[in-house]
């Protein structure tokens, strides 16, 4: 079960990959079918409400204030709720695994990565009915990620509509070319945001449910709260070379999940 729309597996990637290289993002359009949308939405709710469970799944509740910095850290599962901001390690679930290993995503990934491929993360970001949180400008890499080499490709799937006022991605086209703003990575410091006039240069990427966007990890990106009164679910999957090592010292190094090959 790939959940791809007919013909999506054979999508010509020449244009999108060129756009990704130049601008740091690229749209693939609607590629997830209606049955797949229903299945993944249903499973996200199953996980948040505890109807389906897996050992080691990661949960983070959203901040009641709508401020990213107020989101509680390290609490994990806090009982049934549709207010979780993050659900991570979704490769544990057969439905999500089927989507993140679909033939189109493999085609995209193998065009960027040589040799065996593993997951850094497969994660649902949820902006619940109250609107979720404002996510500031950030980059997905650096020492914060604790890796021997930074990943550079992630694939973002809208599981709900993400209109301009509904928590869509916003990007600074071409900002990936400059690399990481700080060695640590993550949130871009306020003085760098001001110097780059990022808020003035922001380009929204509204998306309908089922649409897919390729995002370079170094691209400056953010998302606001959903102000439509509707939920916004999105799945982000970050792939990387299996040669990448976890550098953390305080705990045992992470072992990354292999994809696109027999297990």
Secondary structure of the chain: what % helix, strand, coil (to 5)?
25, 30, 45
DSSP, collapsed to helix, strand or coil, labels residue 211 as: strand
pLDDT at 250: 86
DSSP code of residue 134: B
d(CA 41, CA 64): 23
Contact at 8 Å (CB) between 215 and 28? no
d(CA 250, CA 236): 27
Contact at 8 Å (CB) between 261 and 118? no
Contact at 8 Å (CB) between 236 and 151? no
d(CA 48, CA 52): 8
Quickly count: other Cβ atoms within 10 Å of residue 12's Cβ. 7
CATH 2.60.120.620 fits 8-259, yes or no: yes
pTM above 0.85, yes or no: yes
d(CA 219, CA 2): 28
d(CA 63, CA 83): 9
Structure tokens at 32: 């997830």
d(CA 211, CA 235): 11
d(CA 216, CA 219): 5
The HSE-up count of residue 226 (CA atoms within 13 Å, CB side) is: 23
Q: Which residues, 6 or more positions from 237, have their beta carbon under 8 angstroms from its beta carbon?
A: 100, 105, 119, 121, 122, 123, 154, 155, 157
Strand partners, 87: 59, 124
pLDDT at 66: 76
pLDDT at 263: 65
pLDDT at 251: 87
pLDDT at 1: 67
Structure tokens at 251: 């705990």
Per-residue pLDDT of the chain (263 residues; tens, 9 = 90+): 679 999 999 999 999 999 999 999 999 999 999 999 999 999 999 999 999 999 999 999 988 777 788 777 777 888 999 999 999 999 999 999 999 999 999 999 999 999 999 999 999 999 998 899 999 999 999 999 999 999 999 999 999 999 999 999 999 999 999 999 999 999 999 999 999 999 999 999 999 999 999 999 999 999 999 999 999 999 999 999 999 999 988 888 999 999 998 76
């Amino acid at each position: 079960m790939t959940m791809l729309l007919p013909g999506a597996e054979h999508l010509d990637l020449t244009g999108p990959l060129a756009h990704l290289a130049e601008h740091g993002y690229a749209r693939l359009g609607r590629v997830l079918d209606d049955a797949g949308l229903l299945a993944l939405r249903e499973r996200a709710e199953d996980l948040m409400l505890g109807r389906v469970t897996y050992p080691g799944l990661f949960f983070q509740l959203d901040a009641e204030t709508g401020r990213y910095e107020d989101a509680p850290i390290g609490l994990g599962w806090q009982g049934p709720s549709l207010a979780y901001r993050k659900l991570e390690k979704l490769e544990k679930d057969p439905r999500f695994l089927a989507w993140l290993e679909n033939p189109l995503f493999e085609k995209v990934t193998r065009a960027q990565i040589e040799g065996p491929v593993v997951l850094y993360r497969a994660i649902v970001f949820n902006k619940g009915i109250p609107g979720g949180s404002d996510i500031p400008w950030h980059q997905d890499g650096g020492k914060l990620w604790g890796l021997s080499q930074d990943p550079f490709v992630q694939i973002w799937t809208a599981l709900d509509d993400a209109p301009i006022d509904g928590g869509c991605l916003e990007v600074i086209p071409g900002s990936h070319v400059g690399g990481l703003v700080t060695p640590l990575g993550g949130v871009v410091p306020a003085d760098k945001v001001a110097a780059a006039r990022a808020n003035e240069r922001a380009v929204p990427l509204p998306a309908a449910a089922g649409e897919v966007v390729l995002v370079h990890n170094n691209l400056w990106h953010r998302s606001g709260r959903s102000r439509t009164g509707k939920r916004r679910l999105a799945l982000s999957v970050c792939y990387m070379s299996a040669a990448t090592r976890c550098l953390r010292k305080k705990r045992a190094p992470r072992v990354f999940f292999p994809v696109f090959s027999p297990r």
